[in-house]
Structure 1
Amino acid sequence: MPSWRKGKRIGYCLNDKKKKKLNFQECLVLGIDLAKPLREQGPFDVIIHKLSDLILESGYDSQSHQLIRDFQTYVETYSSIILLDPFPAVRPLLDRFESYRLLRDLQDQGVRVWGLLVKPGWPVSICKTRVAHGPSSHEMALIFNEEGLEEVSAPCLLQSFINHDAVLFKVFVVGSSHFVVRRPSLKNFPRGESARKSIFFNSCSVSKPESCSRLTELDEATLEPTPPSDNVVCRAVRGLRSALGLSLFGVDLIVEKQTGRCAVIDVNAFPGESLGEEAGLSRGRFPLTVSAGPYALLIAPPCLYGPAQITGPYKCSTEPPCLGQIRSVVHTVQYCTSLPVWIRSDHRSL
C-alpha cells in the first residue's frame, strides 16, 4: 500500500521529451510499462501521466479501452495514490467542443454580465481542429470571410480573433502554484470581413520561444501590451482549477489591444513546460504584477451562440477518426459573431 514516506515513489507514463524534464529531488522516479500489470511495478505514491493518445483511442479501440480501464481500476484499488491527473478530468480537454463548453459554463456560474458587443458582418476568426491533442491539433487557419469556410475540414470550430499585438501569455499551473511566460503570437488584422485569402499555419511555428514567423511581425510600431495582473491570473487559475478538477494544466491568455482586457482563449492538459519550470516555482517566480486596467478577464469560448451548418461533401480528415466518431455528414462549424462576457477585475465570482 502506498504511503507518504521519505523517498516517495513516483510512477510516470510520459513520452521521451517529457521524461527528460523530470526533476524530482528525494524521490524514486519509476517508468511505468503499460504492457505489464501495474501491481507488479508498484507501489506508487504518485503517478504522473500524459496518456492523451490512449485516452482518445479508448473511445474506439478495444485494446486501448482495456488499458485505460485496468489503469483506472488499479488507482481506485489503491485509493491513496495521487493520479495527476484523473482520466475523467483530462478527457474534456482533448475535445475542443467540450473544453469550450466548460469555459462557457464557468462564465455562466454567477458571473455578472457587463455587456455584449455585437458586430455586424463576418469577424476575423481563427479555425481550430476539434481534437485538441496531437500534431494535427496545431494546424489552424485565419478565416477572413464566409467563403474561407470552404477550405477547412470538419470537425472544427471558429473562434473570434482578438487583436493582441502579437503577444501571448501562457500560464502553466502546477497544483496551487502557477507561472507565466510571454510568447510570440499572431499579429493584428483589420476588423471586419475582407476579400483576403485564408491563412493556414501551425501554431507551434508561431508561439514557441524561438519562433520566427511573418505572422508575428506587426505591420506598425506599437507599445508592448500590458500583461494581466497577477491578481487576475490567480483568480482565473483558481476558477479553472476548480471547474476542471486538474492539477497540471496550461491556460493561454491574450490582452486586447484597444481595451487592455484579458481573454482566456485556450486551456490545455499537462503542457510540457509544467515539468521544465517546476524548479522556478519553488523559488517563487511570479513575474506578472502589473495591473491590466478596470476590465480584467474575458472567457472567450467560440460556441456561445450555436452552430452554423455548411452543407458539402466534407468528412473528418483525422486518422483514426477523432474521438471514435466517423463523420461523413454535414460540415458543422461553430462560431459566434459577438464578443462574449467581459468581467471586471474586482469581481469575485471567478
Structure 2
Amino acid sequence: MKIKGVIFDVGQTLSNQLDKDRLVERNKKYYSYVYEEMIQRGFSTTFPSLSSHSNGEFVEDLNVLNLGTRAEKNISTEVLKEYRMSEQTLDILIRYEEAAGTGVTKQNVYDEAISQLDSIYAGTNALDEGVYELWPDTKSTLEELRRRGYILGLASNTAHPVKHEHMLARLGITPLIDHFAVSSYIGVRKPNPEMVRILLTKMGLTANEVIVVGDLLDRDILMGNAAGVRTVWINAIPYSLQQNLKRIREGDAKYMPTAGIVCLAQLIPTIQYLDEGGHRDQIRVGYYFPHLRKKLETGKQGAFVSGPKITYLPVELRAPIENLGKFDVIVHKVTDLLLSESSEDQEAIRGLQDYLSRNPDALLLDPLEGLQYSNNRKAFADKWTEFLFEGIRVRVPELYTQDNAKFPCIVKTETACQVKKSHDMIIVHNPDSLQEALQNFNTQCIIQEWVPHSAIFKVYILGNFFQASPQKIVDAGNSTFSFNSAKMPENLPVNSSDNLNICVIQELNKRLKEITGLGMISYDLGVQSDSGDYVVIDFNYFPGYYTVDNYKDVMDEYILEKYREFKKEA
C-alpha cells in the first residue's frame, strides 16, 4: 500500500544539537530556578525538610538522579514509560522527607505536588533549550511532503515537554507537523510501539500506510518495527553512535531498518522507491561517509538513493557490516580516516579490512591502496610519468628543494587532507619568503613549480565519464600570495575558454585510473601559458561532483559497471 504518512523523530533527525557538552551545565542552572520557585511557592509547608537543603544540594541531587535516569533510558530498551522532570523532582523531595522521618509520603501529596511542579516546569523565564539548528534540508523536505499531501507526525521522548515545545517552535517545526506524540504527555516513550499506534489513530492511517524516520536503531527503528510499520534510518550524526554500533554488533533483526538515508533530501525519493515495491536482480550497495558535509552533498545531488537496479544503505565500519545485510559493493570515502591517529578511526579502517577478508565476494570502491596517491602529493608526483599525446605534453609540476627552488614557486603541505592547513597555498618569489612560508606550516611540505596558466579546469572522473569545469585563475603577482584552495578568493577571474583537447584528456584520464586504481577522482588541470602543456596540479579522491548535473545516474552506472567487471573476473 502507498505511503501516506511519515512519523519523524526530532533530535538528530530533523534537528542537530550543537552543545551537548553543555547539557549538564544548562540543566543545573534550570534546577536552581526550580528550587527558588518551590521556596517562593511555599513548598516547605508540605515538604518541611526542603528548607534544610540548600539550592546547591538540591541541584546536585536532582542532577545525579536525572543523569542516572537518562543513562538507564539510553542503555535499556525496556524503559517504555516516561519519567517526567516533575516526577523526578517529587522523588527528591520525598527522599528528603523520608530521611528526616517527617511522615510525608508520595501517595498523600502526589496530585497537588505534581500539579504545582508541572506549573513550575511550564515556566519559560529561565528556560535554556540549548543550541539547536535544523539540518539544511529539513524545512524544504517537510514543506514538500506537505505539498504532496503526506500527513506528518512527530514522536519524541522528553522529560521536559515545555522546553521541547519551545525548541520546536523556535526552529519553525511546529506548524509543519500535523500530529504530535510527546512522551511526557502520553505517558509512553520510545521504543514503546504504543507511541506509533497513538499517532496512527490521530493520523487516521493504518500501519502499512506510514513510515517511521529516525536516527537511533534501538529507539526509532525498534519502535517502528514493533508497531509493524516500515522504517527509515537517517544516519547523519546520530544522537548516540555508540548505541547504534552496539545494536549493529548484536545483529538482531528488530533493530534493522527497511531503508536508510544520510540526509533528509534523500527521503522523498526513498518513499517513492518503497512505494514501488521490490525489484528483481538488484545489487545491494553499502556506503560510508564519515563527514556530514559529504552526506549533505550526496542528498542535495539526489545520489545514493535506491532504485530499480541498486538498493543503497548507509553502513558503519566499527561494527560488522554484514549485520546490516549482505552487500555486493561497499562505496567509501575514508581518506581522512587512513591518515588519522584516532583509535576510533583506526578501528573503522580495521573493520572495513576485516569485512573484506570475510567477504571476498564484495567489491570495494575504490581500493584503499590507491588512496596513497590522493592523500600524498609527493607520492602522486613521484608516480606520474609525463607523456606526449597529439603534440601536447602532459606532466605534473616539478618538485624543488629549498636549495634548488626556482621562483616564483608554491608551498603546500605534502599531505593533501586531514592535516591542518592542507588546503593552504603560498606563492613565493624569493628565498626569504620561501623560508617564511615553510615556517607557516607545522608539517612536512612540498615546494612545487609555479605554473603560469592561461586556463585551469577541475576535471571530474567517474569511471568512463568525465567533465571539465572552468575554475578561477590565479596570478603569481610580484609578492607573496596566500590562499585556500577550498575557498578561493571571490575576485579571481574564471576561465573564459573551455577549449581542451578531448582526446588528450581521455588519455590522461585513462593513465590516471591505471596508475592509481581509482575511478572516483578529480584533478586540477592547468594549461601552461607559454608552452601549452597540460599540467596536473592537484589530485583528489571522491570529490563533490558539484557541477555534474546527472551525478546520480553517472554514479549508479559506475557502480554497476565496476560490479559487472568484478563478477566477470571472479
What TM-score results when the alignment is normalised by the length of structure 1? Answer: 0.64
Shift of 1:85: 1.1
Q: Report what 1:9 is aligned to.
A: 284
Shift of 1:48: 1.1
C-alpha distance in structure 2 between counterparts of 1:237 and 1:113, whole Å: 15
Of residues 381, 399, 409, the one that matches 1:125 is 409
Q: Deviations over 1:260-296 (max 9, x none)?
A: 32111111111111786525759x9xxxxxxxxxxxx
Q: Deviations over 1:119-177 (max 9, x none)?
A: x9832111111110146211110111111122222411121112213x32111111122
Which of the two has greater helix per residue? 2
Of residues 470, 477, 486, the one that matches 1:182 is 470
Residue correspondence of structure 1 range 196-235 to structure 2 within 5 A = 196-206=478-488, 212-213=490-491, 216-217=492-493, 224-225=496-497, 227-235=499-507
Shift of 1:31: 0.9
What is the DSSP-based 3-state SS (H/G/I as helix, E as strand, rest coil) of the residue aligned with 2:381? helix
Shift of 1:183: 1.3
What is the DSSP-based 3-state SS (H/G/I as helix, E as strand, rest coil) of the residue aligned with 2:374? helix
Q: Report what 1:145 is aligned to.
A: 430
Q: Report what 1:317 is aligned to.
A: none
C-alpha distance in structure 2 between counterparts of 1:75 and 1:251, whole Å: 28
Distance 1:76 1:178, change over 3 A: farther
Shift of 1:226: 5.7
C-alpha distance in structure 1 between counterparts of 2:541 and 2:357, whole Å: 21
Q: Give the root-mean-square deviation of aligned CA atoms.
A: 3.4
Alignment check: 8 A CA contact 2:335 2:375 kept: yes
Shift of 1:225: 4.7
Q: Report what 1:273 is aligned to.
A: 545
Residue correspondence of structure 1 range 83-98 to structure 2 within 5 A = 83-98=364-379
Aligned partner letter, 2:480:
S
Alignment check: 8 A CA contact 1:255 1:263 kept: yes
C-alpha distance in structure 1 between counterparts of 2:484 and 2:550, whole Å: 24
Alignment check: 8 A CA contact 2:405 2:447 kept: no
Gaps of 5+ in 1: 190-195, 285-350
C-alpha distance in structure 2 between counterparts of 1:158 and 1:23, whole Å: 39
C-alpha distance in structure 2 between counterparts of 1:113 and 1:140, whole Å: 27
What is the DSSP-based 3-state SS (H/G/I as helix, E as strand, rest coil) of the residue aligned with 2:471? strand
Distance 1:277 1:265, change over 3 A: farther
C-alpha distance in structure 1 between counterparts of 2:283 and 2:536, whole Å: 36
C-alpha distance in structure 2 between counterparts of 1:5 and 1:156, whole Å: 52
2:398 aligned with 1:79, yes or no?
no
Shift of 1:224: 4.0
Aligned partner letter, 2:500:
P
Aligned partner letter, 1:270:
F
Q: Report what 2:446 is aligned to.
A: 157
Q: Which has the larger Rg?
A: 2
Q: Report what 1:347 is aligned to.
A: none
What TM-score results when the alignment is normalised by the length of structure 2? Answer: 0.41
Alignment check: 8 A CA contact 1:94 1:131 kept: yes
Aligned partner letter, 2:450:
F
What is the DSSP-based 3-state SS (H/G/I as helix, E as strand, rest coil) of the residue aligned with 1:236? helix
Alignment check: 8 A CA contact 1:250 1:269 kept: yes
Gaps of 5+ in 2: 1-278, 399-403, 558-570
Q: Kindly tell me the number of residue pairs found equivalent between the two proteins.
A: 255
